Structure 1
Amino acid sequence: MTFYARIAAASLILAAMGAAACSPEPEKREATSTPPAALSHPDIHAFRIGQIQAVALKDGEMAFPATNREMSPWSDTAEVSALLTASGQADGQIHLSIQPLLVRDGERVVLIDTGAGGQMGTEGKLLASLRAAGVEPGQVTDVLISHAHGDHVGGLAGKDGALTFPNAVVRMSAAEWEFAKAGAAEAGAAPLLAAITPRVQTFAPGAQVTPSIKAVPLAGHTPGHSGYEIVSGTERLLYIGDAMHSSLVSVQRPELVNGWDSDGAPGVTTRQGLLNRGASESLRVYGVHFPFPGVGRFQRRDDGFVWVPES
């Protein structure tokens, strides 16, 4: 199976999770108010969005040769390689980090995406990162899914098939849930669907999914792909999911069609819109695949844009 097929097939919700089954509910404990290792742990990064506490949680990394047409989503491999070299990246590899986002929204402990679950060549660090942030899996109340690809839903279940976050509601857009069910059904995943369905709550585009988090439709990558905008007072942060993958290629050459997008033209439009809005509003952005911890802003530079991570 090619790298493209592994990352982009709709049936990855099956491949990443296996035959998931509901596990007994553990005793609930209150999540600690401050990550105990926030200043020292290499795989977490605590920050604030107004009064909201958030933590970037490292799950792992993926890397692949920019010149390999089967692995790279950008067909113009020569241009991508030149861009990497000009940016000082001499190894010729496209590096993508994976960092789900933890958000404490009032009484809710929210996890946005769940990583790859140790698959697709990643390290499977999410649960260790979550615990370093002071949260046990049973304390997560809401899991927000941007889309149903394996590097975003893989952490929903362990290798034994038990649900990783047994007390959490799993929320995704209605269109994405239909997309996920269609892919899983084609793979004969009736048991998986039976296990997940009681946990899933779908929403319409633009829905307010928690008191401080609003779903933002970001067209192109999958039929129901969603970003999430987190707002507290006058501060906000936009989680962009897979609207962009590379902090270099996706930002500096947004017009390049991404082969991992289910619909390339809307994907280009979405990237261009995010860059214009982000730069015009100096909007804080969370890039789940950008270099860890993925927090920063887009800035206009010459006739294009660059990614500027927070220091």
Structure 2
Amino acid sequence: MTTQFKLAAALILSGMIVAGCQRPAEKTEAPAAAATSPTAASADVHPFTIGALHAAALKDGDIVLENVAGQSPWADTAGVAEVLRKTGDPKIHLSVQPLLIRGDNKVVLIDTGAGGAMGTANKLPASLAAAGVQPAQVTDILISHGHGDHLGGLVQNEALAFPNAAIRMSTAEWAAVQANGELATLVPVIAPKVQTFEPGAQITPSITAVALQGHTPGHTGYEIVSGQDRLLYFGDALHSSVISVERPDFVNAWDNDSDAAIATRFALLGRGATQSLRTYGVHFPFPGLGTFRRQADGFVWVPEVAATAP
């Protein structure tokens, strides 16, 4: 992971639902079976439901970092070591798992993994196939932000990996992606498919964009609601299920605006714990599902199911 991979808080609590995408969606139809069929579980695919929606965590790979300057984004390596001591592993482990959602006559993929970069295994294509979906069946790709472990899988062999999908990201994030010289070869490939939106936009009948400020200029989470069920995909507002949750005050060098990112983390943890909100951590231990709980000295993440070892 390079230094470009860098999440105020009031928008989490007050800006959750605002009208309208900036541009209408391209009409792309997927076979009905692909939109509604349940998925079989495997080592790299974890199916679950959100109301009437069929969802699946799709493993792309793992990022493993030493807790030392130059690798860890947290400058307080001694503080991080103290937090990690209880895990029995001194290394920083960040899983990478895009989220698949099927329903509303759409096949939606939230983020696309690293495409094999950053030490990951490029498992997403196989995980997607195991979930019963072909790349051409994906109708919408929702990008949380423009870092390589989230949009790296958009392009393969200099062509669109998901040829029929609209690629959606916030207006501010698309501007940042276009200005990033390290993404110069990716931008012209994806540009014809990009559709931008403003914070709070209703992306699909079940998915609303949520501004989670601080990590990148237009960093976005996605709240998925079906019936009485809801799930918040919070992107890189929190990286580690241990460090980010138990010490949200730690400065993270990957954040573009540290003060805003810290405020976002505290607000997100507070809302999650107060509402017992089901959440999805793209970098939390696979499959990334769980809730936040208050404890005497702060917060802790409670996984919904036992994490799968890398």
Aligned residue among 163, 166, 169 for 1:169: 166
Letter in 2 for 1:164: A
Match of 1:55, SS state, is strand
Query: C-alpha distance in 1, partners of 2:198/2:121?
Result: 33
Residue-by-residue CA offset, 1:200-255 (whole Å, 9 max, x unaligned): 00000110011100000000000000000000111100000000000000000001
Q: What residue number does 1:23 align with? A: none
Query: C-alpha distance in 2, partners of 1:296/1:90?
Result: 21
After TM superposition, the structure 1 = structure 2 runs for residues 192-203 of structure 1, keeping only pairs within 5 Å, are: 192-203=186-197
Shift of residue 132 of structure 1? 0.6
Query: C-alpha distance in 1, partners of 2:61/2:176?
Result: 26
Aligned residue among 107, 119, 124 for 2:122: 124
Query: C-alpha distance in 2, partners of 1:291/1:83?
Result: 16
Q: What residue number does 1:72 align with? A: 72
Match of 1:71, SS state, is coil
Q: What residue number does 2:14 align with? A: none
Query: C-alpha distance in 2, partners of 1:178/1:99?
Result: 25
Aligned residue among 240, 251, 254 for 1:257: 251
After TM superposition, the structure 1 = structure 2 runs for residues 243-282 of structure 1, keeping only pairs within 5 Å, are: 243-282=237-276
Q: How many residues align?
A: 283
Query: C-alpha distance in 2, partners of 1:49/1:303?
Result: 31
Query: C-alpha distance in 2, partners of 1:49/1:97?
Result: 22
Q: What residue number does 2:175 align with? A: 178
Question: Are 2:139 and 1:109 aligned?
Answer: no
Query: C-alpha distance in 2, partners of 1:96/1:80?
Result: 14
Match of 1:4, SS state, is coil
Q: What residue number does 1:48 align with? A: 49
Q: What residue number does 1:37 align with? A: 40
Shift of residue 31 of structure 1? 4.3
Shift of residue 29 of structure 1? 4.5
Match of 1:229, SS state, is strand
Shift of residue 188 of structure 1? 8.5
The TM-score normalised by the length of structure 2 is 0.88
Match of 1:7, SS state, is coil
After TM superposition, the structure 1 = structure 2 runs for residues 1-311 of structure 1, keeping only pairs within 5 Å, are: 3-5=1-3, 7-8=5-6, 29-32=31-34, 33-38=36-41, 41-66=42-67, 68-85=68-85, 87=86, 89-158=87-156, 160-184=157-181, 189=184, 192-311=186-305
* Aligned-residue CA RMSD (Å): 1.7
Shift of residue 52 of structure 1? 1.0
Letter in 2 for 1:175: A
Query: C-alpha distance in 1, partners of 2:114/2:179?
Result: 20
- Percent same amino acid among aligned pairs? 59
Query: C-alpha distance in 2, partners of 1:161/1:5?
Result: 24
Is residue 30–residue 107 contact of structure 2 (8 Å, CA) maintained in 1?
no
Query: C-alpha distance in 2, partners of 1:250/1:273?
Result: 13
Shift of residue 28 of structure 1? 6.1
Is residue 115–residue 155 contact of structure 1 (8 Å, CA) maintained in 2?
yes
Query: C-alpha distance in 1, partners of 2:5/2:183?
Result: 19
Is residue 62–residue 97 contact of structure 1 (8 Å, CA) maintained in 2?
yes
Is residue 58–residue 100 contact of structure 2 (8 Å, CA) maintained in 1?
yes
Match of 2:189, SS state, is helix
The TM-score normalised by the length of structure 1 is 0.87
CA spacing shift, 1:156–1:31, aligned 2, 3 Å: farther
Shift of residue 34 of structure 1? 2.9
Task: List runs of 5+ in structure 1 lacking aligned partners.
Answer: 9-26
CA spacing shift, 1:30–1:52, aligned 2, 3 Å: closer
Moved over 6 A (4+): none
